Structure 1
């Protein structure tokens, strides 16, 4: 059976249909399942399942297990996934270099960033994206919003060509990282929380350490601002943190620009801002060796757009 499967792979013709099926497979492998990949693909689970069945039939291989035990790539699936990433990387590199040879930027550029960037007036990411399109109108820009650990892994496996992330600690030295700005993080609670009406001078370290704390999945539970918070929930996204705070059950840190609207509406309250504040540095990261000109151009647009 294995020899027949290998024979089928060697004779597989890679046309538009096969490339489309492989892109579906790469997306669900990246997101870790059919349901998790729905949003990025814009497909229903039934459609994804049909595409996967057709791909497996063409390859003669079982690529993943899906069922009550969850989603998991088979050994053959992992090998095909690695080969798929290499294939798409080669295609994108060819398109990029062809455009450069023709004197213009073209092809596609995959950019990953964390959430809650729209309200950041200092960064002005939307302005940078507009400038990038003006400079490289033939480049097809794909944007994905993900947690920092997902961005790092995506940069390593070729899912992204450039990322904007608040941490670069897990990236090896062959990636170029450049600091672009620092985001101010402050501590909040919502109306209905026991601390909402407590005066700042009465908010002691011990009182804060008694509260259920909503942290980030990519942060360690080490003390923050000299407070050893009682972690009770964690999320990689600012929207997740905001939801936990609005429940009235937790306290947690949010970017000041992201929390501003909820504070003005009286939904959130700052807690001891003179003590409970820190800066979170953000970086642009992309391959140091032979980066695409499009990635460099986007990095330039983001840096020059900082206010």
Structure 2
């Protein structure tokens, strides 16, 4: 039975949380750079320290026991409390310390409206010794990462609002419909909308069915969760799909891609920063948010 928490226990609890996040021992091997037998040994050590089983593993797959779920929740609260303590202790010296984990959408590096680089420059001019962790993922995955506490904030286009998150609008992005040079539509000056709708499309996997689009396909023969994957399918000449205009420009300029009926099939989306509503942010996160909002001329912006 666990009577006190040591550094070893903290390492075992973090490993346990990582295994759960990965969905099991097999999936966690690559992320932890550890063999399955080694992971199993560490989880077994933690279970012996606690005095009960945390998860079932074997032919039936990986699943948490009821006690395992409680320990996971308690561990996450413990990790957050440690992070708050480290940040508060460091702030007494006037210096930002600790970890800062941020989530970003892919392809925004070419978007003119984003001033992420300016915000990051301002943050690193502060008196700080912060370990920065950056993750690029699909919008839905970024929302879940903020909710789960894997990142403190994320910036992307979010097609719907979740009540557990605060949204801070930052900038707009223009989206158009494209085909590649190998596609039959490429040489057609003004293809018919009905023909476009009936073509093979690659759709964004993070867009719900309720999303308002200027034109919806009659069928979707491919789904992609990152813009680069959408671009690959378009360049192959087999599918048409929506891409940010700033991102597609490199291939348009090379004559490898063209926008289809851009005067009618173009729309705008709003990118926002999200944080978890009601969860205290670290000093480093608050400082970066201040720098981000100032970089976008939004010093007094409120969540929506």
TM-score by length of 2: 0.83
Residues 117 and 62 of structure 1: CA distance in aligned 2, closer, same or farther (over 3 Å): farther
Stretch of structure 1 that moved more, 25-34 or 264-273: 25-34
By how many angstroms is 1:130 displaced? 3.0
Unmatched 5+ stretches in structure 1: 1-7
The alignment status of 1:211 with 2:199, answered yes or no, reads yes
Query: What is the alpha-carbon distance in structure 2 between the residues aligned to residue 68 and residue 265 of structure 1?
Result: 52
Aligned to 2:300: none
Query: What is the alpha-carbon distance in structure 1 between the residues aligned to residue 130 and residue 64 of structure 2?
Result: 32
Cα deviation code 1:104-153 (max 9, x no counterpart): 22122221222223233431423422321222521222222222222222
Aligned to 1:176: 166
Stretch of structure 1 that moved more, 208-217 or 132-141: 132-141
By how many angstroms is 1:281 displaced? 0.5
Does the aligned pair in 1 maintain the 2:83–2:282 contact within 8 Å?
no
The alignment status of 1:189 with 2:179, answered yes or no, reads yes
By how many angstroms is 1:226 displaced? 3.4
By how many angstroms is 1:249 displaced? 2.2
The alignment status of 1:87 with 2:83, answered yes or no, reads no
By how many angstroms is 1:234 displaced? 2.0
Superposition pairs of residues 133-172 of structure 1, within 5 angstroms = 133-167=124-158, 169-172=160-163
Residues 207 and 137 of structure 1: CA distance in aligned 2, closer, same or farther (over 3 Å): same
Residues 180 and 223 of structure 1: CA distance in aligned 2, closer, same or farther (over 3 Å): closer
The alignment status of 1:96 with 2:90, answered yes or no, reads no
TM-score by length of 1: 0.82
Query: What is the alpha-carbon distance in structure 2 between the residues aligned to residue 226 and residue 241 of structure 1?
Result: 18
SS of corresponding position for 2:207? coil
Aligned to 1:73: 64
Superposition pairs of residues 180-259 of structure 1, within 5 angstroms = 180-199=170-189, 201=190, 203-222=191-210, 224-229=212-217, 230-259=219-248
By how many angstroms is 1:60 displaced? 4.6
Does the aligned pair in 1 maintain the 2:153–2:275 contact within 8 Å?
yes
Residues 254 and 50 of structure 1: CA distance in aligned 2, closer, same or farther (over 3 Å): farther
Q: How many residues align?
A: 294
Residues 219 and 27 of structure 1: CA distance in aligned 2, closer, same or farther (over 3 Å): same
The alignment status of 1:125 with 2:116, answered yes or no, reads yes
By how many angstroms is 1:167 displaced? 1.6
Cα deviation code 1:148-171 (max 9, x no counterpart): 222222322322221213127343
Query: What is the alpha-carbon distance in structure 1 between the residues aligned to residue 234 and residue 72 of structure 2?
Result: 39
Unmatched 5+ stretches in structure 2: 298-304
Query: What is the alpha-carbon distance in structure 2 between the residues aligned to residue 191 and residue 73 of structure 1?
Result: 50
Aligned to 2:291: 301
Stretch of structure 1 that moved more, 227-236 or 270-279: 227-236
Residues 98 and 223 of structure 1: CA distance in aligned 2, closer, same or farther (over 3 Å): closer
Does the aligned pair in 1 maintain the 2:100–2:284 contact within 8 Å?
yes
Superposition pairs of residues 22-33 of structure 1, within 5 angstroms = 22-33=13-24
Does the aligned pair in 1 maintain the 2:18–2:28 contact within 8 Å?
yes
Aligned to 2:301: none
SS of corresponding position for 1:118? helix
Residues 37 and 306 of structure 1: CA distance in aligned 2, closer, same or farther (over 3 Å): farther
Stretch of structure 1 that moved more, 54-63 or 159-168: 54-63
